[in-house]
Amino acid sequence: MTYDFDLFVMGAGSGGIATARRAAEYGAKVGIAENSGRLGGTCVNKGCVPKKLLVYASRFPGLMTDAVGYGWSPVESTLNWDELITKVNDEVKRLNGIYQRMLDNSKVEVFHGHAQLIDAHTLQVGDRQVTADKILIAVGGEPTRPDIPGIEHALISDDLFNLRPQPKKMVLLGGGYIASEFACLLNGLGVEVIQVIRRDRILRGFEDELRNEIQNAMIAHGIRIITEASIECIEKTDDGVSLRLRYSENAEEIIADAVHLAALGRHPNTAGIGIENTKVELDAKGFVQVDKYSQTAEENIYAVGDCCGKMELTPVAINEGRAFADTMFGGKSRLMAYDNIATAIFTTPEAATVGLTEEEAIARYGEDRITTYRSRFRSMYYVLPGKDEKTLMKLVVDKETDKVLGAHMVGDYAAEIIQGVAIALKMGATKANFDATVGIHPSSAEEFVTMR
User: In 88-206, at which residue ranges do the beta strands (DSSP E only) sit?
Assistant: 109-112, 115-119, 122-125, 128-137, 141-143, 169-173, 192-196
Pick the closest to residue 312 from 269, 355, 257, 358 (CA basis): 269
C-alpha distance across the termini of the chain, in Å: 65
Instruction: Give φ, ψ of 125 to 5 degrees.
Output: -120, 105
Contact indicator for 134, 7 with CB cutoff of 8 Å: yes
How many angstroms separate the CA atoms of 45 and 161, rounded? 9
Give the angle 8-10-11 at the CA atoms, nearest 5°: 130
Adjacent-strand bridge partners of 222: none
Contact indicator for 438, 371 with CB cutoff of 8 Å: no
Q: Name the CA radius of gyration of the chain, rounded.
A: 24
- Is the previous residue joined to 149 through a cis bond, with omega within 30 degrees of 0? no
Residue ranges in 221-357 assigned as alpha helix (H) = 314-329
DSSP 289: P
Pick the closest to residue 32 from 120, 161, 125 (CA basis): 125
From the list 153, 221, 408, 441, the catalytic residue is 441
| H/E run at residue 260 | strand 258-261
Residue 441 annotated among the catalytic residues of the structure: yes
Give the angle 275-134-98 at the CA atoms, nearest 5°: 95
If you count them, how many residues does the chain have? 452
**240: alpha, beta or left, given left = phi > 0 and alpha = psi -120 to 50?**
left
**Cα 62 to chain centroid, rounded:** 24
How many angstroms separate the CA atoms of 203 and 424, rounded? 25
How many angstroms separate the CA atoms of 172 and 257, rounded? 11
Catalytic site positions: 441
